[in-house]
Structure 1
Amino acid sequence: MATILVIDDNQKLLDMLQRTLRYEGFHVLTANNGYDALETVKVQRPDLLVLDWLMPDLDGIGVVTRLRTLADEIPILMLTARDAVEHRVEGLSSGADDYLVKPFATAELLARIQALLRRTKTVVGERPLTYGDLYLNPVTRETRRATRHFDLTPTEYDLFCYLLRHPRQVLPRERILETVWGYDFEGDDNVLEVYIGYLRKKTEAAGEPRLIQTIRGVGYVLRED
């Protein structure tokens, strides 16, 4: 049974989410502010966070930023009334793995939670994935370029894994979004571009040549230039 930490300063919404998730079989922890949420993560180590953006003192962005130094592997679903593209990009850029706009349908919330939890499961016995000097071990989640190790958030990991499973193949944006995120982003591929940028920054941090290439008007391909 997965443990979910729900953080929201709206007590009515917090109670509703707690009841709904418990009914679906999850173990639910709650916090009504960012500082309590961080303390709960240190002690309880939940499997997933459902996090409100607009909170007093320490908002959702602040929680995500601090959390990524404590538990980089925990997936985060951010809830907010901010629905502009720039807000989505800001939320995902801060380290959140998914973004759901209020008001939302309970069925969609549950679907996104299940998708995030599926993406964090390790396949025991799966062989490491390699291309060039890139390396990813699905069992240990170790990632490196040559001998240089680097860490990935859950979404970065899933995207990196997908690219390594299809080297030298031109992958359309729509296919990547559907496979990695598990649902349609309604034609907004800014999110994908942001995460491609994250991977490039981490895989090229020591000045290595670029391997994740852009195919304009189509998508991306993992290959030597």
Structure 2
Amino acid sequence: MKILVAEDDAQTADYLRRSLIAEGHSVDVVDDGRDALTYCLYNRCDLMVLDRMLPGMDGMAVLKALRAGRNTLPVIFLTAMADVDARIEGLKEGGDDYLTKPFHFAELSARIGAIARRPVAAEARTCLRVSDLELDLLRRTAERQGQVVDLQPKEFAVLEVLMRNAGHIVTKTMLLEQVWGLSFDPGTTVVETHISRLRTKIDKPFDAKLIHTSRNFGYSIHAPR
């Protein structure tokens, strides 16, 4: 399995990395919540071991942002927050398991194994389509009516969020969280700028417009009606 470890304690992170690699896993490590969210948006991985008390963006906010974007990546919390309410919150918000520190690696390994053995409900989507627009998540390419659309990484990420939520309004806050890893509005026009660029590339050269604005709410993408 390819596992992301999001842990800001260097000693614990190194221990997890070495132990998981010894069991045959591929492991990447980040020490900041925003980096964890960005990693999950731009990279394939099979599971994340997530600390709740991370700098930049706490682990619960990372999980909520993932689930808001319909990202079903399995997440095991590994945290010192051991009270019952914290456990319940972590599981109710979409965590797959919850293990508290101090911990035994053998138990974490067993829980990872249990998740790995779960039957896959459906094949993960690697290609998103809305009308005649296609987004290939593996090749990181976009095409409309067979024509390649050249997108910058952030433009691709914004379009991916819109297409994963096709037919539904995506708020500016959701885009800030899922694309830029921000849990607050920095007061800039970064979202509006990227939507404008996408319209220039996705809509302007074609007759039918796919990207729509819901004033005071957000943006959506859907086939012409």
Query: Shorter-normalised TM-score: what interval?
Result: 0.5 to 0.7
Match of residue 76 from structure 1:
75
Match of residue 52 from structure 1:
51
Question: In structure 2, what residue type is equivalent to 1:82?
Answer: M
Looking at structure 2, the residues matched to 69 and 110 of structure 1 have their Cα atoms a distance apart, in angstroms, of 28
Is the CA contact 2:31–2:55 (under 8 Å) kept in the aligned structure 1? no
Specify whether residues 54 and 26 from structure 1 end up closer, same or farther in structure 2 by C-alpha distance, changes over 3 A only. Answer: same
Is the CA contact 2:4–2:28 (under 8 Å) kept in the aligned structure 1? yes
Match of residue 26 from structure 1:
25
**Identity over aligned residues, as a percent?**
43
Looking at structure 2, the residues matched to 11 and 43 of structure 1 have their Cα atoms a distance apart, in angstroms, of 24
Unaligned runs of 5+ in 2: 125-225
Residue 105 (structure 2) pairs with residue 94 (structure 1): no
Q: TM-score, normalized by length of structure 2?
A: 0.52
Specify whether residues 140 and 27 from structure 1 end up closer, same or farther in structure 2 by C-alpha distance, changes over 3 A only. Answer: closer
Q: Deviations over 1:185-204 (max 9, x none)?
A: xxxxxxxxxxxxxxxxxxxx
Looking at structure 2, the residues matched to 106 and 45 of structure 1 have their Cα atoms a distance apart, in angstroms, of 24
Specify whether residues 42 and 105 from structure 1 end up closer, same or farther in structure 2 by C-alpha distance, changes over 3 A only. Answer: same
Q: Deviations over 1:26-57 (max 9, x none)?
A: 01011101111111112212100000011123
Is the CA contact 1:47–1:75 (under 8 Å) kept in the aligned structure 2? yes
Match of residue 12 from structure 1:
11
Match of residue 36 from structure 2:
37
Looking at structure 2, the residues matched to 49 and 79 of structure 1 have their Cα atoms a distance apart, in angstroms, of 10
Is the CA contact 2:66–2:72 (under 8 Å) kept in the aligned structure 1? no
Q: TM-score, normalized by length of structure 1?
A: 0.52
Pairwise CA distance, 1:69: 2.9
Is the CA contact 2:76–2:96 (under 8 Å) kept in the aligned structure 1? yes
Looking at structure 2, the residues matched to 47 and 7 of structure 1 have their Cα atoms a distance apart, in angstroms, of 14
Question: In structure 2, what residue type is equivalent to 1:117?
Answer: A
Match of residue 191 from structure 1:
none
Looking at structure 1, the residues matched to 122 and 38 of structure 2 have their Cα atoms a distance apart, in angstroms, of 28
Q: How does 1:69-148 map to 2 (within 5 A)?
A: 69-70=68-69, 72-119=71-118, 121-122=119-120, 138-140=121-123
Looking at structure 2, the residues matched to 71 and 51 of structure 1 have their Cα atoms a distance apart, in angstroms, of 18
Unaligned runs of 5+ in 1: 123-137, 142-225
Is the CA contact 1:3–1:46 (under 8 Å) kept in the aligned structure 2? yes
Specify whether residues 75 and 63 from structure 1 end up closer, same or farther in structure 2 by C-alpha distance, changes over 3 A only. Answer: same
Is the CA contact 1:52–1:78 (under 8 Å) kept in the aligned structure 2? yes
Question: In structure 2, what residue type is equivalent to 1:36?
Answer: D
Specify whether residues 73 and 105 from structure 1 end up closer, same or farther in structure 2 by C-alpha distance, changes over 3 A only. Answer: same
Aligned-residue Cα RMSD (Å) equals 1.8
Higher RCO (CA-CA < 8 Å; seq separation 6+): 2
Pairwise CA distance, 1:93: 1.6
Q: Which structure has the larger Rg?
A: 2
